[in-house]
Structure 1
Amino acid sequence: MSTPGSTPPRRRARRDNAARVHILDAAETLFAAHGFDATSTTAIAAAADVPKGLIFYYFPTKESILETLVAERLPAEPIQDVTGLVSPGDPAASLVNLDAALDLRTHHSSLLRVIWREAETHPGLRTPLRRLRTSLQEATMRVLQASVPGPIQPGTLRTCATTWVSAMFSAATVDRLFGLDGPSPDELGGIARLVAAGMTGMG
């Protein structure tokens, strides 16, 4: 039971969780824009509109903020059931459906930029990045295999899946804050058609 004038436990828990989320949001944005080393905890606190001491209440070190972002916000297995994404006989459309379902550019673009930027100096980020890439390759292979009417050589299937995953990563990780643009949806559609043509041509 809360004492008169005190904050009820549930409301306090919601408030504390909101502050933690604000810190992670601010850190993700700043790490993506400026890099981990160039981002101070003072800047994170200012962007999150919280006292600097509150950051260390939740995260003992700046490195732990980065680790938490990857652990909690990077999808380990972003998609498992691809049945609804398959357009029979149209692998290019199926690939575009997969990209739309994953929506990496909207939901994970800044975090993916952080990981690509920091993986060289923070080896711990390489494992979750490899895990994500492998999961995306496997999902792409399932989509392609289900959408092509004829048999496909395993090597061709994997090569085409790797190409498509690279295109999706490129679209999600290119840093638009520096005036650069990744592949547009129309360009991704062209890449999907190229991958589909290469797959059927090599099958």
Structure 2
Amino acid sequence: MDGDTRTRILDAAEELIAARGFDATPTAAIATRAGVPKGLIFYYFPTKESILTTLIAERLPTDPLDDVATVAVTGEPETSLVNLEEALNQRDRNTIRTIAWREADTHPAVREHVRALRTHLHNVTVEVLRASAPLTAPARVLDSCATAWVAAMMSVTHRFLDRDDRLEELRTVARVVTAGLGALSHP
């Protein structure tokens, strides 16, 4: 029962904070949405801030993908980059990404978590490009391409686009990134 209550509180907080923002979401609203007394929130989370940091820590992993073979298609870096975004999107909820990007500006713990995630995404992107590019690219080119891809991925995925629009934007960026590799697989 304790795990269910804690999960209900986190679910309610995630929904409300994504819609309203952290500062505009009182703990009373979280308690009401979760169907628990307000005091019970503080049994599980000593501060309102700890609700936010728990949401980010538990629901937005900093190492969401460790096996690039699941997304890399040999000779098709453009497809591989889109596959990477799709694999990550299946694991994360859009609401958590929205919270992370919005609250990183004002909450240092969230900002550090997002930085760690960005570093991991960059490293995974380099590996995906290395595994999928038909030509061997210099490390500095892979690094630059990965930086551009992660910036685009983080920018596009936190906006409220439907799946098809989001993928179309990312495919466009993937074409540019792979052109930078000198390995554009589709005209």
Both structures adopt the same fold (TM-score exceeding 0.5): yes
Q: Is residue 190 of structure 1 aligned with residue 176 of structure 2?
A: no
Q: Name which of 145, 170, 174 aligns with 1:160.
A: 145
User: Aligned AA for 2:171?
Assistant: G
Q: Structure 1 residue 56: deviation in Å?
A: 1.2
Q: Which residue number corresponds to residue 114 of structure 1?
A: 99
Q: Structure 1 residue 169: deviation in Å?
A: 1.4
Q: Which residue number corresponds to residue 48 of structure 1?
A: 34
Q: Structure 1 residue 172: deviation in Å?
A: 2.3
Q: Which residue number corresponds to residue 73 of structure 2?
A: 87
Q: Structure 1 residue 48: deviation in Å?
A: 1.2
Q: Structure 1 residue 108: deviation in Å?
A: 3.0
Flag as ranges the 4+ runs of structure 1 deviating above 3 A: 180-183
Q: Secondary structure, in 3 states, of the residue corresponding to 1:66?
A: helix
Q: Which residue number corresponds to residue 137 of structure 1?
A: 122
- Report percent identity of matched pairs: 52
Q: Is residue 73 of structure 1 aligned with residue 59 of structure 2?
A: yes
Q: Secondary structure, in 3 states, of the residue corresponding to 1:17?
A: helix
CA distance in structure 2 between the partners assigned to 1:70 and 1:84 by the alignment = 25
User: Gaps spanning 5+ residues in structure 1: where?
Assistant: 1-14
CA distance in structure 1 between the partners assigned to 2:147 and 2:30 by the alignment = 36
User: Gaps spanning 5+ residues in structure 2: where?
Assistant: none
Q: Structure 1 residue 67: deviation in Å?
A: 1.4
CA distance in structure 2 between the partners assigned to 1:134 and 1:79 by the alignment = 12
TM-score norm. by structure 1 comes to 0.83
CA distance in structure 2 between the partners assigned to 1:200 and 1:188 by the alignment = 18
CA distance in structure 2 between the partners assigned to 1:70 and 1:107 by the alignment = 11
User: Aligned AA for 2:75?
Assistant: G
Q: Is residue 58 of structure 1 aligned with residue 39 of structure 2?
A: no
Query: What is the root-mean-square deviation in Å for CA atoms of aligned residues?
Result: 2.0
Rg (Cα) greater in structure = 1
Q: Secondary structure, in 3 states, of the residue corresponding to 2:182?
A: helix
CA distance in structure 2 between the partners assigned to 1:39 and 1:140 by the alignment = 35
CA contact (8 A) 1:70 1:125 kept: yes
CA distance in structure 2 between the partners assigned to 1:93 and 1:42 by the alignment = 46
Q: Which residue number corresponds to residue 38 of structure 1?
A: 24
Q: Secondary structure, in 3 states, of the residue corresponding to 2:23?
A: coil
CA distance in structure 2 between the partners assigned to 1:71 and 1:133 by the alignment = 14
Q: Structure 1 residue 201: deviation in Å?
A: 6.8
Q: Is residue 124 of structure 1 aligned with residue 112 of structure 2?
A: no
CA distance in structure 2 between the partners assigned to 1:61 and 1:115 by the alignment = 18
CA distance in structure 2 between the partners assigned to 1:121 and 1:94 by the alignment = 34
Q: Which residue number corresponds to residue 17 of structure 1?
A: 3
Q: 1:201 to 1:172 in 2, by over 3 A?
A: closer
Q: Secondary structure, in 3 states, of the residue corresponding to 2:22?
A: coil
CA distance in structure 2 between the partners assigned to 1:21 and 1:81 by the alignment = 29
User: Aligned AA for 2:173?
Assistant: I
Q: Structure 1 residue 19: deviation in Å?
A: 1.0
CA distance in structure 1 between the partners assigned to 2:80 and 2:10 by the alignment = 34
